Structure 1
Amino acid sequence: MTTTLVRAARSQPVDRTPVWFMRQAGRSLPEYRELRQGNQMLEACRTPDLVTEITLQPVRRHNVDAAIFFSDIVVPLQAAGIDVVIEPGVGPVIAHPVRTQADIDSLPELTAEMMPDITESISRTAAELATRDDTALIGFAGAPFTLASYLIEGGPSRNHEKTKAMMAGAPEMFSQLLAKLAAMSTTFIDVQLSAGAQAFQLFDSWAGYLSPRDYRTHVLPHSQRVFSDLAGHDVPSIHFGVQTGELLPAMSEAGSTVVGADFRVEFTDASTRVQPGQALQGNLDPALLFAPWEALQPRIEQIVRDGLSHSGGHIFNLGHGVLPSTDPEVPGRIVDEVHRISTALLSGDDPK
């Protein structure tokens, strides 16, 4: 059976608006925090028992319409043999940043054989989800530019100055790096789709730091390559970045069936910036989950209404990830409300 989320992602008719949340499997859940005690992030991401359980936790708690594979965007880098750790409170840290032609030439190639645990984790999770009537499994990877920024900067960066310096000062070298990373992202997603994921999302977390011209010139071709190389799987795909309102017209050309809008752009504006008939995902501000329900509920309803008026499909999500201190009861209440409102509106009833 084709799930509601997959149909919405393909802009096909649905009987309700599907919902999932970025970072739904994570620190906002007490059961996640308990399970993660005593193991490092990358260790957890490479342990099938933990990955399967963590991926399924928000499905059980929130009744979301999709599970997002529990992993991290630097997992393919680690799997390829790059020395990377995730430092608590900091993020990914690269032991040997990539800044010269020799550094790029020495980057290893990622193959499926390096990731048997990813295949096992996806297969186990897909088997568990098969017992539910209407829950999709979404795979994911980091986009080439975002991975390049971590490699060049050596870790998270406020301004991405070293990355932009290479992009502007050594564009051919920069392009070679992104081409290698596009191949890694493609392989990582390919393994997930081959093992049973029904859709995937490409995260370009740092693309919003670029101008539209730089994005089109230096980044878009490599993101297009990822979507093009995975087209043979015939599954819906989502492209998302943070602070990318001005980049949505270009991002919509990358080849995804869905474009994610963050909370900084009005949904109705996002609707005019993507390809005609292309589905949209988003875009409730995650900080609003801390507001009283009487203030939050109208925002939910407006996004549902805006989504249903969009020319393509709509997947309800936050405009970024669930914040760690979010009350774990709120996302599930949002799921119920989105389902209630959208079902009523699609049936021609008043949701009040």
Structure 2
Amino acid sequence: MAHDFPPLKNDLLLRAARGEETERAPVWCMRQAGRSLPEFMKLKEKYTFFEMCQTPPLASEITLQPVHRYAGLLDAAIIFSDILVIPQAFGMVVEMKPGPHFPEPLNTPEDIKKLPEVVDVEKELSYVYEAITLTRHALQGEVPLIGFVGAPWTLMAYMIEGETSKSYQKSKAWLFKYPEASKVLLLRIADVCADHLVSQVKAGAQIVQVFDSWASHLSPYDFNTFALPSLARVSSRVRSRLAELGLEQVPLILFEKGADTTLTEQARDAGYDVIGLDWTIEGSVARDIVNAASPSKTLALQGNLDPTVLYGGKDAIEQYTKRMCESFKGGLDKPCKAWIANLGHGVTPATQLDDLRWFLQCVHKYSASPKSA
């Protein structure tokens, strides 16, 4: 699908995602658009969360807010949307009270029959794609635009729990009581996730990420038995559908929060180009694991500063960011290759604007390759 988008001026993120050496690490932040920005909070006074998601001009405006505020420091925009648009596309009601709430969650496998066999994402989620196309034009090629989706396990957990949970007792019990039904549901969700990613690429997304926020609640065995096959289904379906449509293959990022014990399987079996990391593993350790698991292809890493470091003051931010750069690069005197700097999770609401700006500046400074410094 031709949209005649402006040419891309900064392809640092895309080069790093493809495993290439870069003059410095590209940097962006999960949840960079949202609650930490005063311009977002002003809009929140007028509109509900889902109104902002479902109104393309608003979603585009919010996506652009951090790019404008941190001009020259961010190397990507990520479309303002939500992972729970997938359950909504299945026809489930999702409310914000203030967190996600499903009035009618799935209680037993019989409830799966209430979900449609076929989900037309182009119809149900057209507002996301319209927002992406608007944003690609508005960016004027300044930075690439990231699309995203929730991972099947995280979405299944929400659909069964009906809300955020500390133990995920209901959804995990499904895995143990109804293992085959759970696998069927996960693969159905995976197909819709893949279709959503493909439609985002058709609309203008240049790289996409899968967020598995609740991976930490699964044992390695359960991750490999339930989550991993559905993640592989997403990546393989995205690649095959893009090929069928004659579209360029975009880099795929997988972010499994709290699942460091399954890094080998993620790198070897999931089928993604970039492995996102939270802050509980050293970059150098992750690199060794990923390289051993994928000897024939250089996978990129993304991460992984603890977001709460941004509350520690400028000295701490600089110290920890420098350590992160050194670990991922293999030494500050080494070239930067196949690494995307990010936080280990999203920007938290009370983060001060100047502290996030300082983090970005420190990444620019300490990730620069010697020949580029």
TM over 0.5, yes or no?
A: yes
Provide the C-alpha distance between the structure 2 equivalents of 1:99 and 1:271, rounded to a whole number of angstroms.
41
Deviation of 1:335 after TM superposition, in Å, equals: 1.7
Deviation of 1:12 after TM superposition, in Å, equals: 1.2
Provide the C-alpha distance between the structure 2 equivalents of 1:28 and 1:129, rounded to a whole number of angstroms.
21
Asked if 1:290 is matched to 2:311, the reply is yes
Provide the C-alpha distance between the structure 2 equivalents of 1:101 and 1:218, rounded to a whole number of angstroms.
16
CA deviations 1:257-316 (Å, max 9, x no partner) are: 000110112222222222342110000010000112112212111211222239950000
CA deviations 1:321-352 (Å, max 9, x no partner) are: 11100001222222222112222x34175xxx
CA contact (8 A) 1:208 1:247 kept: no
Deviation of 1:116 after TM superposition, in Å, equals: 2.1
Find the counterpart in structure 2 of residue 40 from structure 1. Answer: 48
Alignment partner of 2:371 out of 323, 347, 352: 347
CA contact (8 A) 1:300 1:334 kept: yes
Q: TM-score, normalised by structure 1?
A: 0.93
Consecutive unaligned residues of structure 2, counting only runs of 5 or more, are 1-7, 243-247
How much identity, in percent, do the aligned residues show?
40
Find the counterpart in structure 1 of residue 119 from structure 2. Answer: 110
Q: How does 1:4-153 map to 2 (within 5 A)?
A: 4-62=12-70, 63-88=73-98, 91-108=99-116, 109-111=118-120, 112-132=122-142, 135-153=143-161
Alignment partner of 1:258 out of 274, 293, 296: 274
Provide the C-alpha distance between the structure 1 equivalents of 2:69 and 2:178, rounded to a whole number of angstroms.
48
Provide the C-alpha distance between the structure 1 equivalents of 2:127 and 2:370, rounded to a whole number of angstroms.
41
Q: Please state whether the residue corresponding to 2:28 is helix, strand or coil.
A: coil
**One-letter amino acid of the structure 1 residue matched with residue 202 of structure 2:** S
CA contact (8 A) 2:53 2:81 kept: yes
Provide the C-alpha distance between the structure 2 equivalents of 1:78 and 1:169, rounded to a whole number of angstroms.
26
Find the counterpart in structure 1 of residue 222 from structure 2. Answer: 214
RMSD, aligned α-carbons:
1.7
Q: Please state whether the residue corresponding to 1:34 is helix, strand or coil.
A: helix
**One-letter amino acid of the structure 1 residue matched with residue 325 of structure 2:** V
Aligned residue pairs: how many?
Answer: 344
Find the counterpart in structure 1 of residue 209 from structure 2. Answer: 201
Asked if 1:234 is matched to 2:244, the reply is no
Asked if 1:246 is matched to 2:261, the reply is yes
CA contact (8 A) 1:285 1:320 kept: yes
Consecutive unaligned residues of structure 1, counting only runs of 5 or more, are none
Asked if 1:168 is matched to 2:176, the reply is yes
Find the counterpart in structure 1 of residue 339 from structure 2. Answer: 314
CA contact (8 A) 1:280 1:312 kept: no
Q: Please state whether the residue corresponding to 2:21 is helix, strand or coil.
A: coil
Q: TM-score, normalised by structure 2?
A: 0.88
Q: Please state whether the residue corresponding to 1:322 is helix, strand or coil.
A: coil
Q: Please state whether the residue corresponding to 1:42 is helix, strand or coil.
A: helix
Q: Please state whether the residue corresponding to 1:329 is helix, strand or coil.
A: helix
CA deviations 1:47-79 (Å, max 9, x no partner) are: 111100100111111231001111111012213
Q: Which runs of 4+ in 1 moved over 3 A?
A: none
CA contact (8 A) 2:255 2:275 kept: yes
Provide the C-alpha distance between the structure 2 equivalents of 1:20 and 1:222, rounded to a whole number of angstroms.
27
Asked if 1:179 is matched to 2:160, the reply is no
Provide the C-alpha distance between the structure 2 equivalents of 1:101 and 1:299, rounded to a whole number of angstroms.
46
Provide the C-alpha distance between the structure 2 equivalents of 1:309 and 1:227, rounded to a whole number of angstroms.
29
Asked if 1:330 is matched to 2:355, the reply is yes
CA contact (8 A) 1:44 1:51 kept: yes
CA contact (8 A) 2:23 2:372 kept: no
Provide the C-alpha distance between the structure 1 equivalents of 2:172 and 2:124, rounded to a whole number of angstroms.
31
Q: Please state whether the residue corresponding to 1:203 is helix, strand or coil.
A: strand
Q: Please state whether the residue corresponding to 1:223 is helix, strand or coil.
A: helix
Q: Please state whether the residue corresponding to 1:230 is helix, strand or coil.
A: helix
CA contact (8 A) 1:110 1:187 kept: no
CA contact (8 A) 1:243 1:264 kept: yes
Deviation of 1:131 after TM superposition, in Å, equals: 4.1
Deviation of 1:256 after TM superposition, in Å, equals: 0.9
